[in-house]
Amino acid sequence: MSKDVQIAEKDKQLDQQQQLTLQAMNDRETLKLELDQANEKVLEQKNKRLLETRLWSLKTDFGQFFLCLCLSSTNRKSKSKHKMKEFP
């Protein structure tokens, strides 16, 4: 094999390696973007679940507060009725 043929072969191999390296870098960047998007979706889902949990907790707390308020009001009414019966 002549020197020129060897050089041409080496150049061809180098070009192929460079193309493969460039493709690998592009693939890496694409995968990184996809991973970032997936992580963003996961974070959105976590935030959504956290918000739903907080809302449920607030509803529960409000429900308990409202129930206590109603019971308290009922107790006051029944006590006042007793007082009214005792003192006409």
Tens digit of each residue's pLDDT (9 = 90 or more) over 60-79 = 888 888 788 787 777 665 55
What pLDDT was estimated at residue 77?
Answer: 57
What pLDDT was estimated at residue 8?
Answer: 94
Ranges of the chain with pLDDT below 70: 75-88
d(CA 19, CA 26): 10
d(CA 49, CA 51): 5
d(CA 72, CA 52): 30
pTM of the shown model? 0.54
